[in-house]
Structure formats: C-alpha cells, structure tokens
C-alpha cells in the first residue's frame, strides 16, 4: 500500500494528521510507534518504519507479552514518518475520527531485508522501547479478508511475561473526560531492589581483586586504554591475546541500574544502540563501568561497513557489544587490578550473557596461534595485553595490536576535483602527525568510496575549503595545484601497502570515515612512520564497495567433475585469506578459460578495460616500453578476475615496488612420463638437502600437476641476474651430480626416466603458480603448500582438489609453511659455495660415452 492511499482517505484541511508532503526529521535507525486509537472501535495502531514510510497494522487488543497469545493484526495503509509524532483528536466524521495517543515508541531492528520478509509473510524483529522490548513476530495468515490479516506475538525471551498492553496505560494520555489509570510502581521498586542485591554480590567479589580500591566517584565515562601498533606478537605467558574486533569503541556507564553509552571521545551513543542498553540493564548491575566494542555480524573487517549502514538506517543487522574489561563495580574501582583478574571477573558476570552481549575470550601465551585463529575467522588481527598490567587511559606498551593487513588512520586535509563520470570529489588528501610540522601530507586515497559517501564528503568539506595547503606538503605533485584544502578534523581509516616514493602511501584504499574519532586523536603515538622506497606508479580500481557480481554461475567449468563457475567463485572466496598473501602486491599473470578448463585457455598478464577492482602497475618491458600489469591487492580484485574466468594465478617472484629484485626462487620438479611418484618425493628432499648445505631453507608444495615445487625465500635485495644465475648453476649442479635422476634442459628427448629441474621460472617477468591456486586440468587440482613431514604421505602432485583443499585449510591453524613469510635469506656467498660444491661433485660424475 502506498502513501497515495493514505492521502486519498483524508482531508488535510479538516484533520490535524500530517500530510505525506510534510517530511519530518528521519531517525538514523528505523523507528516503531504504537498508538492507542479511540476510534469507532478502540484499537492499537502498530507501525514499523520501512524505508521512508510506516508500515501499519490495526491490533484490536494491543500487543501481548505472553508468547502463547497471538493477536490479530489487520494490515492498513502505509503512513508517513511524521505520523509517529501525531497525538490528538481526529474530528468526528473524518476517516478514523477519535482520540490518538502514543503508547510506546523506540527503535526496531531485524536481520536482513524487512520488505523481503514481509513479502514472504513472516517478519522476525526486535523492539527497543520503554515498554515493548525483545523479539517479536508478525506472521501473515491465509484467511480471506478485505484487509491482509497477520498475527502479532511475542518471542520467548527475557522480556516475555503475562502482561497485556492494557496493563501499561498509566502514562498514556486518555481521551478528554477520562481519568488515567492509577500508576503501578511495585514492579519498578522490585526491579531496583533486585539490581541493588546483584550489585552488592558483584561488589563483594570485585573487592577481592588485587589492588582494588574504594571508588571516590559515581560511575562515569573513563578515557579508554588504547593499543599501540606492533609488527610482531609478544612471546610468553605474560600476555593475553584477544581478537581485534572491527567496530566502534564504547564505554558503558551503569548508574543505579540506568545505562549510558559513550564513544571514546565522550560523545553519548545511548540512543543509537538501544538493544545494547537493554541487554546491559538485564545484567542486574546497579553501578558499573565496562569497556568493549560495538560490532555488527561477526565483528570482522568485512562487517564494519554493515555496522555503519545499520547505524545510519541503510541496512539491518544484529548489533553486539563485545566486552573485554570491567573498571568499576559499585563503589569498587578496579583500574589498578591486574588485567587477568579483571577479565576473570567479567567472565563471571557474563557467564550466561543476554542477547547482544558477548564476552571477548582470550588465549594465554601462544600468540601466533591466536593470530592464526583470528585471521582464519576473517578478523583484522589481535590485541595483546600484558596479563598483570593495570588499566591506563591512552596508549601504552601494555596493549599491542597486531594486524594482518596494514590499515591506519589519517587526517583528511583536502580533496581533488572529480573526473569523468565521477561525482562529488576525486580523492581525499591525507596527513599524519609530524613532530617538525604538526601535520605532513602523506598522499591521497581515491578508491573504496560509495557514491553516497562521495556526495556527503564533498558537501561537508567544500564549506570550509581553501586554495592553500593547511599542512606541510613536502612533495612536488602537479595534481595538488588545483586541490582544495581543509583544516584537519575528519579521520579516514585507510588500507595500504606501506610507504613508497617521497614517503607517500602505497596503494591506499578507503576502509571508512571514522565518525567516532577526531584528527586530534591521532597525535597520541599511533601514526605510522613513512618510509622511503621506489614504488612504480599504480592505477587504482574504481571506487565501488558493492560485492563483485557473478554472471553465468551455473556454467560448468570442469566438465569431468561437473564443477560450476559458482563453485570456483566460492572456492576462491573461501581461500582468499590464504591465497591473497601469495599474490598481493606482485605483478600477476592469470590463466583464463572462458569456455571451461577442457577448452582452449590463455595466459593474460596485462590489465584490460572493464576490470574495475583489479589494479594495474606500469612496468618496463624488454625494449624499454611500459605496460600495465595486473595487480591484485584485495579479495574484490581476486574475485573480479574469477568473474573474468581466471582459474590459475601465477605471480612474479618479485614485488611490484621492487620488480628488478627477486624475493624468492622456485625450482619446479617436472617428472618424465615414466618416473614414479616416490622418485619425485626423493628428488624434492635431495634439493632441500643441497639448498640447506648452501645455507638456504626451503619449502615444498604440490604443483597441482605431476610434480613438486621447492621454494626458497630471499631478501628482496637480489638482482634478477644474480638470482637467475644461481638457479641455473644449482640446476646444472644437481644434473651433474645426479645424472640418472635429474636433467637441467627442457628438451623432452633428454627427460626419459628423469626429472627436469626447471630453473627458468627465476627471471624478471617469469612466474610460477601460486600456492592455493586451482589448475585448469581435470579434477580441479590445487597447488598445495605442505610441511616437509607431510611429503611422504602425499600420493601425487594433484593430491588436493577444490574440495579437499578447502577441507584441509579449514583444519589448519596456521600456514603449512610456518615462518616462510618472515624468513629472509641472502644469495651473497651462496654462489661461491655452489661453485665449490660443483667442483667436488664433478669428479664423481660419469664421463660421456
């Protein structure tokens, strides 16, 4: 039903009801209102905001708190949002004539799309008002009637009971001439008494903590303790390791049972999260101060946008308050008590938490395991806390954050004009705190924006913009000559890959605008330090935060096993957290199979039109020309290539910022057709032993084909000429010393009964398949990294496929290669050792006949 139907039934020159054109101020989150309507038949009007209107039902007897009682709810026409504020008399003779009074109002939420649920005939939702709280259901009946008939009933939860709507009319304005019902205060007094008793119990427990002291103030906002960014996880059992939740930090103040929520900047958020307020009130704490993070979904990086959209009213999601500290209980101040004791008390308080409250558990010691688990769950990283430390406002070494993917916060100091079809602005200009200049320009970010955000930022920033820089720039960039500058106030959180030329951010992408922070908050030691490097120019993808759209999901890609494009897409989405570190920041070639793996496929290494999420890096090719190479830095770029029918991913052995220097060497052990698998295994072990004798640690993976890859990581300081020469010499040395096992030439006539040790993948522009990549071969095999101890149990180079690879990695707590990402090895001196080793072996090699 539309607002035209609402307008058709009313004469607005005769009724005080709001006309549809009169638009009132919208709530940030969807509201509900229940009105008691004394019309020809007394009833309750039940209204839920869905979009820009109030979906409405007439409920004759009003909502019941008893889940066994199902109230009839007749669907009526939609009402304008302003109707939520309407009270008073509708004149007799007009549609709905009679007295209207507000029974209850507040916010409501549901998981997913409310319109879709209503269309299906079942809406499960929660309300957060003064009277109506907790879970409810609206279910459409199949009864034939003039108006659609629904049933409204309460969910069985902590707010269920025997009360009916008519029992709660004490504060509802009655029609003229009627006296209001007498107030009933017994229940309120009973709740207050229960809160005080619970508070006494927890206060006695809190007083037993070490260094607990008397609180000399009522519960109030406390400046939160903050974590410093570190690169490595601290060792030892002196540390607790928690998940790093991706949300908004909130301090909860409970005073005499009443809850207020505060952001880290002491802005009140109580009205923005009523479900959290209700959940905290149900704990029964009389006075308390708690610390935690407001999150949506599972609190992962990918859920942060959902949290913002829910708070702005654009989407619906369940919000949770993840609690990780308790600072005060009644008149006991716990800030000086050890961290582990505060958490133990909090765990007791949340032993049976109500909905929307979550205890943030931790691991003692075993920090690498904690980090691996966090990454496996899609979280950004972990927070490491010294177990015996007190609680201090601000940053200290006692709390450390370790992130998988670098993201930091910068001040917004200006913007560039949009180009082409883009609207609003082109890019945000960013700055970091600087001891010498106050603020230093660190680059611009132009990807990761929605169109709506572009428009709102442009409107906000243009009001106070100026032509001259407001911060120290220190770089010569023609793009900045026409830029507009603003005083640092807004904070942008940005993903990036370190700092490149002139100390500017490398490949930045907007994560979010931090509404809970100000630029002044960045001067407390959390700003990253720019480092100089020579990063070639990259061309970013278009700003679009929508998920990658998959076309032709049912098309069969692997005919032999019936695997569809949708299954390939799901595989790469599931395995992205393992695959992305293999290819991020590296020039990339892909194998594309538009007609499936059984039909002709082709290699692609250059960026092409239509790739919006895949970045490009301009690199010099032979002959001095430059070309745009594929560059993937996030899951969206990976999945876009899958949408473009990419099955295999082959990165360079160098990063895009140092394309002329190798950081890995790969030996591909490719067996001849008559070589048994145990010989391949033995050959890989022999290569490992020979590399170890030269001081090089190595790692092994199945190729997804017939053989194995042995990989040796390097410091990114080895010129390709040096790396290629070493790889060639090593392969020749292996072939010379073990001529019946190895051959170092690609010619097939020499490979009968032997294994080709392929060193040709080690050169500028050469690639090898990435770990966890599918192969365009029958059975959808996967290139799988292994622990050396596992190698003897593997039955072939194609031992893992699309299904078993996912099953294996779901069980893994960390990468099979362990410390590979941290190991840096130098080729200096290795070449001389190899030459000496070759001379020794040459004497034992058989002579040619």
The β-bridge relationship of strands 615-620 and 88-90 is unpaired
Q: What is the pLDDT of residue 182?
A: 63
pLDDT of 442 over the 60 cut: yes
pLDDT digits (tens, 9 = 90+) for 227-257: 988 878 888 888 999 988 888 999 999 988 8
Q: What is the pLDDT of residue 499?
A: 67
pLDDT of 199 over the 70 cut: no
Query: Does residue 22 or residue 69 have the better pLDDT?
Result: 69
Q: What is the pTM of this model?
A: 0.51
pLDDT of 537 over the 60 cut: no
Q: Measured between alpha carbons, how far is 503 from 281 in angstroms, rounded to an integer?
A: 49
Please tell me the total number of residues recorded for the chain in this structure. 849
The confidence band for 27, taking pLDDT boundaries of 50, 70 and 90, is low
3-class DSSP state of 697: coil
Average pLDDT, integer, range 618-624: 78
**413-to-425, 441, 503, 807 alpha-carbon distances in Å:** 13, 8, 17, 47
pLDDT of 810 over the 70 cut: yes
Q: What is the pLDDT of residue 741?
A: 80
pLDDT of 136 over the 90 cut: yes
Q: What is the pLDDT of residue 650?
A: 97
3-class DSSP state of 687: helix
pLDDT digits (tens, 9 = 90+) for 544-583: 446 788 888 888 999 999 999 999 999 999 999 999 999 9
Nearest to 508 by CA among 425, 429, 626: 429
pLDDT digits (tens, 9 = 90+) for 54-69: 999 999 999 999 999 9
Average pLDDT, integer, range 324-333: 91
Residue keyed to tokens 């609402």: 6
Q: Measured between alpha carbons, how far is 226 from 262 in angstroms, rounded to an integer?
A: 15
The confidence band for 848, taking pLDDT boundaries of 50, 70 and 90, is very low
Q: What is the pLDDT of residue 502?
A: 67
Query: Does residue 26 or residue 516 have the better pLDDT?
Result: 516
What Rg, from alpha-carbon coordinates, does the chain have? Answer: 32
Report the range of poorest mean pLDDT among 130-134, 290-294, 677-681, 838-842.
Answer: 838-842
pLDDT of 711 over the 90 cut: yes
Q: Do 139 and 150 meet the contact criterion of CB atoms below 8 Å apart?
A: yes
3-class DSSP state of 456: helix
- Say whether 55 is catalytic: no
Residue 716 buriedness (CB in 10 A; 0-12 / 13-18 / 19+): middle
Q: What is the pLDDT of residue 746?
A: 65
pLDDT of 536 over the 50 cut: no
Q: What domains, with CATH codes, occur in the chain?
A: 3-168 (no CATH), 200-403 (3.30.470.30), 407-534 (2.40.50.140), 556-651 (no CATH), 661-763+784-839 (3.90.920.10)
pLDDT of 192 over the 70 cut: no
The confidence band for 529, taking pLDDT boundaries of 50, 70 and 90, is very low
Cβ-proximal residues to 731 (8 Å cutoff; 6+ apart), any chain:
667, 742, 744, 757, 758, 759
Q: Measured between alpha carbons, how far is 294 from 311 in angstroms, rounded to an integer?
A: 11
Q: What is the pLDDT of residue 183?
A: 58
Question: Running DSSP on this structure, what letter comes out for residue 449?
Answer: -
Residue keyed to tokens 């103040």: 253
Q: What percent of the chain has pLDDT over 70?
A: 89
pLDDT of 843 over the 60 cut: no
Q: Measured between alpha carbons, how far is 16 from 316 in angstroms, rounded to an integer?
A: 33
Alpha helices in 40-79 (DSSP H): none
Average pLDDT, integer, range 176-203: 61
pLDDT of 532 over the 90 cut: no
Catalytic residue among 55, 131, 154, 244: 244
Query: Does residue 464 or residue 779 have the better pLDDT?
Result: 779
pLDDT digits (tens, 9 = 90+) for 407-438: 788 999 999 988 887 888 889 999 988 766 78
Q: What is the pLDDT of residue 799?
A: 95
Q: What b/e readout covers 397-428, taking b as 16+ CB neighbours within 10 angstroms?
A: ebbbbbbbbbbbbbbbbbbbeeeeebebbbbb
User: Quick count: other Cβ atoms within 10 Å of Cβ 840?
Assistant: 10
Cβ-proximal residues to 515 (8 Å cutoff; 6+ apart), any chain:
308
Report the range of poorest mean pLDDT among 119-123, 136-140, 747-751.
Answer: 747-751
Q: What is the pLDDT of residue 808?
A: 94
Average pLDDT, integer, range 733-750: 78
Q: Measured between alpha carbons, how far is 759 from 707 in angstroms, rounded to an integer?
A: 14
For 376-397, the DSSP string reads HTT--EEEEEETT----SEEEE
pLDDT digits (tens, 9 = 90+) for 374-407: 877 778 789 999 999 999 888 888 999 887 666 7
Q: Can you name the residues that pair with 47 across neighbouring β-strands? A: 33, 56
Q: Measured between alpha carbons, how far is 350 from 347 in angstroms, rounded to an integer?
A: 5
Query: Does residue 86 or residue 315 have the better pLDDT?
Result: 86
pLDDT of 839 over the 60 cut: no
Query: Does residue 226 or residue 495 have the better pLDDT?
Result: 226
Nearest to 107 by CA among 268, 269, 250, 321: 269
């Amino acid at each position: 039903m539309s607002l035209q139907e609402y307008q058709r039934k009313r004469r607005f020159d005769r009724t005080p009801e709001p006309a549809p054109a009169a638009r009132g101020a919208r709530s940030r989150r969807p509201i509900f209102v229940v009105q008691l309507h004394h019309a020809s038949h007394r009833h309750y009007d039940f209204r839920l905001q869905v979009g820009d209107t109030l979906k409405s039902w007439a409920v004759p007897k009003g909502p019941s708190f008893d889940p066994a009682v199902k109230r009839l709810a007749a669907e009526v026409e939609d009402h304008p949002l302003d109707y939520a504020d309407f009270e008073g008399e509708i004149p007799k003779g007009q549609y709905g004539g009679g007295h209207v009074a507000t029974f209850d109002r507040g916010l409501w939420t549901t998981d997913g799309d409310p319109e879709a649920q209503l269309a299906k005939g079942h809406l499960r939702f929660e309300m957060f008002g003064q009277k109506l709280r907790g879970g409810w259901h609206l279910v459409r009946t199949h009864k034939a009637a003039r108006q659609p008939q629904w049933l409204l009933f309460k969910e069985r939860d902590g707010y269920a009971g025997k009360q009916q709507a008519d029992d709660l009319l004490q504060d509802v304005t009655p029609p003229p001439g009627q006296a209001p019902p007498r107030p009933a205060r017994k229940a309120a007094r009973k709740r207050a008494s229960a809160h005080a008793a619970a508070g006494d119990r927890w206060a006695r427990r809190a007083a037993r903590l070490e260094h607990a002291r008397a609180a000399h103030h009522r519960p109030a906002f406390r400046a939160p303790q903050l974590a410093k960014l570190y690169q490595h996880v601290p060792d030892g059992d002196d540390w607790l390791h928690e998940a790093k939740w991706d949300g908004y930090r909130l301090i909860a103040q409970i005073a005499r049972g009443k809850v207020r929520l505060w952001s880290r900047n002491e802005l009140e958020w109580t009205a923005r999260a009523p479900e959290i307020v209700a959940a905290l009130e149900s704990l029964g704490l009389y006075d308390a101060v708690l610390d935690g993070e407001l999150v949506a979904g599972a609190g992962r990086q990918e859920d942060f946008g959902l949290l913002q959209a829910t708070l702005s009213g654009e989407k619906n999601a369940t919000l949770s308050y993840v609690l990780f500290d308790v600072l005060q209980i009644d008149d006991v101040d716990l800030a000086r008590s050890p961290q582990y004791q505060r958490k133990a008390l909090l765990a007791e308080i949340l032993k049976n938490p109500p909905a929307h409250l979550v205890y943030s558990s931790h691991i003692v010691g075993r920090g690498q395991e904690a980090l691996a688990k966090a990454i496996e769950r899609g979280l950004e990283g972990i927070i490491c806390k010294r177990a015996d430390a007190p609680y201090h406002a601000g940053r200290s070494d006692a709390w450390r954050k370790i992130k998988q993917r670098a993201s930091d916060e910068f001040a917004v100091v200006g913007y560039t004009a949009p180009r082409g079809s883009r609207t609003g602005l082109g890019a945000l200009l960013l700055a970091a705190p600087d001891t010498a200049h106050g603020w230093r320009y660190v680059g611009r970010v132009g990807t990761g924006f929605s169109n709506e955000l572009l428009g709102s930022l442009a409107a906000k920033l243009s009001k106070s913009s100026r032509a001259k820089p407001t911060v120290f720039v220190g770089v010569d960039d023609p793009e900045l000559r026409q830029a507009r500058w603003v005083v640092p106030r807004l904070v942008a959180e940005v993903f990036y890959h370190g700092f490149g030329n002139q100390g500017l951010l490398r490949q930045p992408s907007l994560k979010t605008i931090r509404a809970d922070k100000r630029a002044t908050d960045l001067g407390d030691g959390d700003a990253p330090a720019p480092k100089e490097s020579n990063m070639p120019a990259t061309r970013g993808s278009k700003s679009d935060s929508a998920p990658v759209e998959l076309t032709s999901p049912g098309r069969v890609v692997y005919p032999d096993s019936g695997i569809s494009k949708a299954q390939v897409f799901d595989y790469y989405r599931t395995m992205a957290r393992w695959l992305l570190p293999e290819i991020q920041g590296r020039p990339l070639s892909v194998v594309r199979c538009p007609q499936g793996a059984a039909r002709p496929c082709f290699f692609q290494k250059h960026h092409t039109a239509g790739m919006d999420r895949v970045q490009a890096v301009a690199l010099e090719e032979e002959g001095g020309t430059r070309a745009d190479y594929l560059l993937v830095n996030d899951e969206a770029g990976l999945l876009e290539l899958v949408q473009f029918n990419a099955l295999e991913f082959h990165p360079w052995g160098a990063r895009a910022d140092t394309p002329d220097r190798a950081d890995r060497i790969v030996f591909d052990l490719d067996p001849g057709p008559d070589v048994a698998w145990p010989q391949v295994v033995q050959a890989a072990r022999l290569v490992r032993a020979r590399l170890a004798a030269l001081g090089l640690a190595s790692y092994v993976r199945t190729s997804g084909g017939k053989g194995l890859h042995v990989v040796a990581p390097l410091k990114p300081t080895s010129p390709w000429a040096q790396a290629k020469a070493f790889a060639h010499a090593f392969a020749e040395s292996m072939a010379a010393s073990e001529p019946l096992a190895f051959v170092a030439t690609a010619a097939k006539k020499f490979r009968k009964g032997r294994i080709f040790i392929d060193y040709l993948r080690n050169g500028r522009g050469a690639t090898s398949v990435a770990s966890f990549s599918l192969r365009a071969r029958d059975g959808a095999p996967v290139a799988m990294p292994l622990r050396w101890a596992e190698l003897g149990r593997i039955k072939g180079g194609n031992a893992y496929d699309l299904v078993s690879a996912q099953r294996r990695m779901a069980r893994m707590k960390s990468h099979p290669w362990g410390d590979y990402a941290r190991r840096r090895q130098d080729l200096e001196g290795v070449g001389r050792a190899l030459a000496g080793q070759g001379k020794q072996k040459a004497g034992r090699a058989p002579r040619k006949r």
